[in-house]
């Protein structure tokens, strides 16, 4: 509703909603910050940054597999597009003034879901928190106002559009077989579903930004930009990188190698169609590792188009 009100306000003030007209209009310092803030809040809720993330977690838990795929692969990206391709170029002063504050809040928001993940038992909810973590990381890069930060954020955004839907697809494979999502009900999956365990392991490596995966390139660029503009961020980014990887591997070990929790008596590994669908996504995901310059050059071009 506030967004709709300010769209109407713009229409009354300048008699147009054309982007070129809005960008050419000289708003007062107060109004530009106010308009940017209202539009930003509407998009940041869609991006599910803490503390606006609870809807995303619950939506993933209740949604069918295809709903989670569309939500993680497309819906979250609409918010990022709106912030950096619409409101930031149109109201650049508001964006510039708020950048340091948003970057600081995003750093704090980065650690919160990482800690929360360890207490979750629902597999879909855990993967939903992975998305929250990556959205916070993307915001850190985007609001650094540095080329390398923007490049890293774009790379993570593109990779997240594939790896998160792939993980939700894996959850769907398990749920279709056993009708459970509680990780305490699994055990020794690696012994009986080796293909599935290998694919999930590779997807988890990409999620945590393991060296040799495409997310590592994006995170490295974000860390470089953040250290340049906000040196104290190192004291948050290093614990994040350590705890996130530790917790993800702990969850993986609990699900696939824990001998004490095993309530499944019938196992069925992935069939050819299921394996091929995830394997094809993995090929797409690891291509930037082989030729990273493609994403770096494309994101650099996008940065100059947005900032000019």
C-alpha closest to that of 295 among 139, 161, 202: 161
Domain boundaries, the chain: 2-307
Question: Could you give phi then psi for residue 40, rounded to 5 degrees?
Answer: -65, -45
Question: Could you give phi then psi for residue 182, rounded to 5 degrees?
Answer: -80, 120
Residue pair 23/90 in contact (Cβ under 8 Å)? The answer is: yes
Residue pair 299/151 in contact (Cβ under 8 Å)? The answer is: yes
pTM reported for the whole predicted model:
0.89
Question: Could you give phi then psi for residue 212, rounded to 5 degrees?
Answer: 100, -5
DSSP structural state of residue 51: T
Residue pair 56/48 in contact (Cβ under 8 Å)? The answer is: yes
The pLDDT profile of the chain, 308 residues, written as one tens digit per residue, is: 888 888 888 888 888 888 888 888 888 888 888 888 888 988 898 888 888 888 888 898 888 989 999 988 888 888 888 888 888 888 888 888 888 888 888 888 888 888 888 888 888 999 999 999 999 899 988 888 888 888 888 899 999 999 999 999 999 998 888 888 888 888 778 888 889 999 999 999 999 989 888 889 888 888 888 876 666 777 777 788 888 888 888 889 888 887 776 666 667 788 889 899 999 999 988 888 888 888 888 878 777 776 66
Residue pair 204/157 in contact (Cβ under 8 Å)? The answer is: no
What whole-number distance in Å separates Cα of residue 131 and Cα of residue 47? 9
């Amino acid at each position: 509703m506030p967004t709709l009100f300010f769209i109407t306000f713009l229409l009354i003030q300048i008699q147009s909603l054309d982007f070129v007209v809005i960008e050419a209009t000289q708003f007062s310092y107060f109004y530009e910050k106010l308009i940017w803030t209202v539009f930003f809040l509407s998009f940041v809720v869609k991006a599910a940054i803490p503390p606006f993330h609870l809807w995303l977690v619950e939506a993933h838990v209740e949604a069918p597999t295809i709903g989670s795929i569309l939500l993680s692969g497309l819906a979250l990206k609409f918010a990022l597009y709106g912030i950096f391709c619409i409101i930031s170029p149109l109201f650049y002063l508001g964006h510039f003034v708020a950048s340091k504050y948003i970057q600081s809040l995003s750093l704090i928001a980065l650690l919160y879901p990482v800690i929360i993940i360890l207490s979750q038992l629902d597999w879909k909810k855990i993967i939903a928190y992975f998305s929250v973590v990556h959205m916070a990381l993307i915001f850190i890069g985007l609001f650094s106002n540095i080329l390398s930060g923007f490049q890293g954020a774009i790379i993570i955004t593109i990779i997240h559009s594939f790896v998160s839907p792939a993980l939700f697809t894996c959850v769907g494979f398990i749920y279709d077989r056993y009708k459970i999502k509680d990780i305490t009900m699994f055990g020794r999956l690696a012994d009986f579903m080796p293909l599935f365990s290998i694919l999930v392991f590779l997807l988890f490596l990409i999620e945590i930004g393991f060296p040799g995966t495409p997310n590592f390139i994006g995170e490295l660029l974000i860390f470089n930009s953040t250290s340049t503009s906000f040196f104290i961020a190192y004291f948050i980014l290093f614990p994040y990188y350590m705890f996130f990887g530790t917790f993800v591997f702990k969850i993986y070990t609990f699900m696939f190698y824990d001998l004490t929790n095993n309530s499944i008596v019938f196992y069925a590994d992935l069939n050819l169609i299921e394996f091929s669908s995830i394997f094809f996504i993995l090929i797409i995901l690891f291509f930037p590792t082989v030729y990273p310059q493609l994403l770096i050059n494309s994101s650099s071009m996008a940065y100059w188009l947005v900032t000019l």
